[in-house]
Structure 1
Amino acid sequence: MPIYAYRCDECGFSKDVLQKISDPVLTTCLSCGKDAFKKQVTAAGFQLKGTGWYVTDFRGGSAPATGTAPGTTAAAAPAAASSESTTAASPAPAAPAKSDTSAS
């Protein structure tokens, strides 16, 4: 859920409120009770983590559409690399251990 910044035009009270996108906008100030509570325009407050996009992705200018154009090899290379990495990462099945059934 996004966090929205609100500020009262009357008393100057400000508060960050965790709301769903579908929730109605707050209008009544939580401090003075007047109908002057307004949503502020703020910078996005999120951080990307993990293996997302890299600087070199889509370096040619615009991002490609959902499909790839026929004859392009740039999209085929990552697919080939990922299939190789999954094959190399999975270990071969172990051979069954031989058991000595003869007793001396």
Structure 2
Amino acid sequence: MPIYEYTCRSCGHTLEALQRVSDPPLRECPECSTPSLVKQVSAAGFRLKGGGWYETDFKKDSEKKRNLADRPEPAKESKSEAA
């Protein structure tokens, strides 16, 4: 569940609330009891476990790296064979 930051327009009090995304936003300030709370925009915090890279964390050892440069070029048809 995300943590939302709120600020009261009346008294300036700020608070954080742990809420579901589907929960309605808080309205009443716990300090001054007015319905003046406004949700603030804040940075999301998350942590990647491991290196966070496909090559080092998720790719199976049996899989080989695919490189288009290593593929053999398809045989080109000459104009006489195509006609």
* TM-score of Structure 1 vs Structure 2, range by shorter chain: 0.5 to 0.7
TM-score (norm. length: structure 1): 0.50
TM-score (norm. length: structure 2): 0.62
Q: How many residues align?
A: 60
Structure-2 separation of matches of 1:48 and 1:16 = 23
Q: Which amino acid aligns with 1:83?
A: S
- Counterpart residue number, 1:39: 39
State, as a whole percentage, how many aligned pairs show the same letter: 52
Q: Find out whether 1:53 has 2:32 as its counterpart.
A: no
1:27-73 Cα shifts (integer Å, max 9, x gaps)? 1111111011010001112222224227x8xxxxxxxxxxxxxxxxx
Structure-1 separation of matches of 2:2 and 2:53 = 22
Q: Give SS of 1:16's match.
A: strand
Q: Which amino acid aligns with 1:11?
A: C
Pick 1 or 2: higher relative contact order, CA cutoff 8 A, min separation 6: 2
- Counterpart residue number, 1:24: 24
Q: Give SS of 2:42's match.
A: coil
